[in-house]
Amino acid sequence: MSKCNKNGLHQAVWAHRGDIVTDALAADKNVVVLHISRRGLWQFEAVMDKTNNKLYIMISQDNLDQRRKEYQLERTSTHYVYSLLHLNGDQDTSEQLELLDKADDEEQRIKDCVRMLGEFADQVDEVIIESVTYVSGIAVKANLNLFDSQYNLIESQNISNMLLDNNNITEENSLGDGKPDNSEQNKPLVKLRKIKKE
């Protein structure tokens, strides 16, 4: 399934992406691909650029939107992105931020960062989130996003031009979200007759 990622079949697409990222960056001595296990359930890959102390993580745009909504409602989150955004601190934002963080919440975020990043936890200056939008399983848009520690968007750069040309990708090497559109192949098991009303 994957050489470096131990996710199950359901996460096989992300595991495949982990392999691609690991292989593509293997020769670069200034970059380290971190294979971060999340409590034994699954893992994700993060890319640490040692030249600028930036940590890059990938997430689908839908998942990122859900995590931001979750934070807006709860003012906390157990998701790894929320923990890692702690490292960004409160960047310069045009809005005045509310200081609603609880000491326990911040302590948990710090512990989670140390658990995930190990020796790199104190080396990260910024966490950059690459979010990808999918339509029918095909990556159609990508952005590099900088958030502050409270999920406030500071800066976003469209990098859609860097997506692979979907016309030249084999299914085996696809970076899609693993949700093929089988609507044409799905046939009903039974046909129901319409009931005529008199």
Residues 119-130 pLDDT 10s: 999 999 999 999
State how far Cα 52 lies from the chain centre. 21
Phi, psi of 158 (to 5 degrees): -75, 125
Residues 40-53 pLDDT 10s: 777 899 999 999 99
C-alpha 133/C-alpha 43 separation (Å) is 21
Task: Give the pLDDT score at 39.
Answer: 72
Strand segments, DSSP code E, in the chain are 31-38, 42-49, 54-60, 126-135, 138-147, 153-158
Mean pLDDT to the nearest integer, 138-147: 93
Report how far apart, in Å, the C-alpha atoms of 170 and of each of 122, 165, 186 are.
40, 10, 23
Residues 47-103 pLDDT 10s: 999 999 999 999 999 999 999 999 999 999 999 999 999 999 876 554 444 444 467
Pair 134, 177: CB distance under 8 Å? yes
Task: Give the pLDDT score at 97.
Answer: 45
Please, what is the average pLDDT of the chain? Answer: 81
pLDDT of 10 strictly over 90: no
pLDDT of 175 strictly over 90: no
Q: Which residues have C-beta within 8 Å of that of residue 102, sequence separation ≥ 6?
A: 76
Task: Give the pLDDT score at 168.
Answer: 59
In the chain, pLDDT over 90 holds for what percent of residues?
53
Would you state the structure tokens that stand for residue 145, as one six-digit string? 């996003």
The amino acid that residue 112 corresponds to is D
Task: Give the pLDDT score at 42.
Answer: 79
Task: Give the pLDDT score at 139.
Answer: 86
Would you state the structure tokens that stand for residue 22, as one six-digit string? 């690991």
Report how far apart, in Å, the C-alpha atoms of 112 and of each of 26, 63, 77, 150 are.
26, 20, 12, 16
Report how far apart, in Å, the C-alpha atoms of 173 and of each of 29, 123, 170, 177 are.
25, 33, 5, 12
Mean pLDDT to the nearest integer, 140-154: 95
C-alpha 5/C-alpha 41 separation (Å) is 11
C-alpha 184/C-alpha 9 separation (Å) is 24
Read off the pLDDT band of 170 (50, 70, 90): low
Q: Which residue, 72, 73, 11, 75, is CA-closest to 38? A: 11
pLDDT of 176 strictly over 90: no
Task: Give the pLDDT score at 95.
Answer: 45
